[in-house]
Structure 1
């Protein structure tokens, strides 16, 4: 048995998964998430803000305590979009090394996509393949097409934090802001579609906080319940409806929704718009919401 710890540090959140993996069997021990907004302002400045580094390293210190207490044997720490873009990333990487004693892997978008695919499709039936896995993060969105393994992947810079900072910086946003965001999003989807056959999948799987929050809204949940959300099927019509709902609400109204994580309030409108545009571009009738994603893929990678 291998007890492993996977850490996924994105633009908006940092997450920890401790799991026991034995002969292909996966048992979750700890799953934790904190919204740290590491990518605060990176789209404009190309640098990490000192406050963002401080918030993130504080979360890493908490994760380190859990890793030590659970007797973890192997750790893998992957950082994605914001860290790829930040010119002063060494400050963050050095801080993590001092706390955990491991090197941060700043993985390219294509590797991020492959790890997301592994995590998202492990539990799915092969009869539902080929799959298109869409991972809407804070800084980027990954499109991954595959069958038993990845066939094509593309990462594009249309994450929920990046689109919020670039376009939807008021809540509710104006029609003009939404229109400009749609132009940006659709261009990026077109770039992804030049590499990935986004209209050929039998099943669209959407992962990460934007997709699961949209699923919670579509399911009309009173509170966030990952077990009800996981592998639920959400119609394209419901996605468009939820995206429109989020665009119409004030920040206070969004925050009052029982399933809404406080750290997603100011970026969920942009994230839902990205998902809505993805649904339109792919032409699929529904998506499968998966709570298993890159974090699970990182954990599986530690068994190789």
Structure 2
């Protein structure tokens, strides 16, 4: 990452003189470097990063990710189910133990679309406090878009005028137009939040067996909701590229690279051309549910979600016909870490 480091240490504290007038003993200060934890509880996933400032960015010292499907069924019932609550609280209890184990003292623990939508969202959050010891902050869509941008801007090409960033979630999809100012800094020009993510789209149209016709209907529905944003902010695309952050785009990258198992080091920052994306989506459309479930880059937990995610991706790239997509295996958590470290002066603002 490109953020500059500004860490300061004072001189060591000195203990009182030893009995009998001996020299005072140097007692090391508590570490000047805070340990930061960022948790993102989405409609589909529960993800945690724990990190410390390091070099020009930060070093991850622990992490956790589990598919919990918190938002399963919300589109039909308007409520988080008891089964989803139990799965999620079990995952959050693991997160709490990791935060305690690493002595993280600077925390931001957020929840997104499922908790925004559900009629029992507040009841769920209160139960999480009691049973997992975690107090969730339910952030709004603009905050979600901003954090995704902060987390992903290091992947904007240095020569680009900006980028169209999109974050395909479980219950919503955020799209951000980023532009580079005359001073060289990247800023958000505009953003929107679409009421579709991979879980909600799968529940509306199905995700296990997806025909070409069903796929086209999914893409058309997303395009319909995206159209007003495109009409206002889809102009002058020269010098821009796409950046995608989500399980969908990282899965597409893994399939494109024919990885025997997912490898973040090869995926994060990868450039893909339009023809490569189209070919990979075509491969996925040609796979059965069982074949997708057997793929080490997809697995059973995401086998019914990857094609709805591809439909969202296709709607976005057809609305913004740019030749290149950069894959980001980063997003909200990294954005929260950077934001906290900047606030503390541990990273220089850019």
**What is the CA distance between 1:103 and its match in structure 2?**
2.9
Secondary structure at 1:222 match in 2: coil
- CA–CA separation in structure 2 for the residues paired with 1:125 and 1:181: 31
1:54-133 equivalences in 2 (<5 Å): 54-99=86-131, 101-133=133-165
Secondary structure at 2:176 match in 1: strand
**What is the CA distance between 1:2 and its match in structure 2?**
2.1
Match of 1:5 in 2: 37
- CA–CA separation in structure 2 for the residues paired with 1:144 and 1:182: 19
- CA–CA separation in structure 2 for the residues paired with 1:42 and 1:191: 26
- CA–CA separation in structure 2 for the residues paired with 1:179 and 1:209: 21
**Cα–Cα, structure 1 residues 127 and 56, in superposed 2: closer, same or farther, change >3 Å?**
same
Match of 1:42 among 61, 66, 74: 74
1:265 aligns with 2:303: yes
- CA–CA separation in structure 1 for the residues paired with 2:115 and 2:282: 31
- CA–CA separation in structure 1 for the residues paired with 2:122 and 2:157: 42
Secondary structure at 1:206 match in 2: strand
Write out per-residue CA displacement over residues 67-110 of structure 1, whole angstroms, 9 at most, x where no aligned residue: 11111001111111111110101232012222454431111111
Secondary structure at 1:60 match in 2: helix
Quick check: 1:145–1:198 contact (8 Å CA) kept in 2? no
Match of 1:175 in 2: 212
Secondary structure at 1:204 match in 2: strand
- CA–CA separation in structure 2 for the residues paired with 1:236 and 1:258: 24
Q: TM-score when scaled to structure 1?
A: 0.93
- CA–CA separation in structure 2 for the residues paired with 1:59 and 1:53: 10
- CA–CA separation in structure 2 for the residues paired with 1:135 and 1:195: 19
Match of 2:223 among 177, 181, 186: 186
Write out per-residue CA displacement over residues 96-133 of structure 1, whole angstroms, 9 at most, x where no aligned residue: 22245443111111110110000011354543341211
**Cα–Cα, structure 1 residues 69 and 34, in superposed 2: closer, same or farther, change >3 Å?**
same
- CA–CA separation in structure 1 for the residues paired with 2:209 and 2:298: 16
Secondary structure at 1:127 match in 2: coil
Write out per-residue CA displacement over residues 220-276 of structure 1, whole angstroms, 9 at most, x where no aligned residue: 212100000010011222222222322222211101212224321110011012112
CA RMSD, aligned part only?
A: 1.9
Quick check: 1:60–1:99 contact (8 Å CA) kept in 2? no
Match of 1:149 in 2: 187
Quick check: 1:239–1:275 contact (8 Å CA) kept in 2? no
- CA–CA separation in structure 2 for the residues paired with 1:244 and 1:153: 29
- CA–CA separation in structure 2 for the residues paired with 1:123 and 1:274: 21
Match of 2:259 among 203, 221, 224: 221
Unaligned runs of 5+ in 1: none
Question: How many pairs were matched up?
Answer: 303
Say which structure is richer in helix.
1
Query: Which has the larger Rg?
Result: 2
**What is the CA distance between 1:39 and its match in structure 2?**
0.6
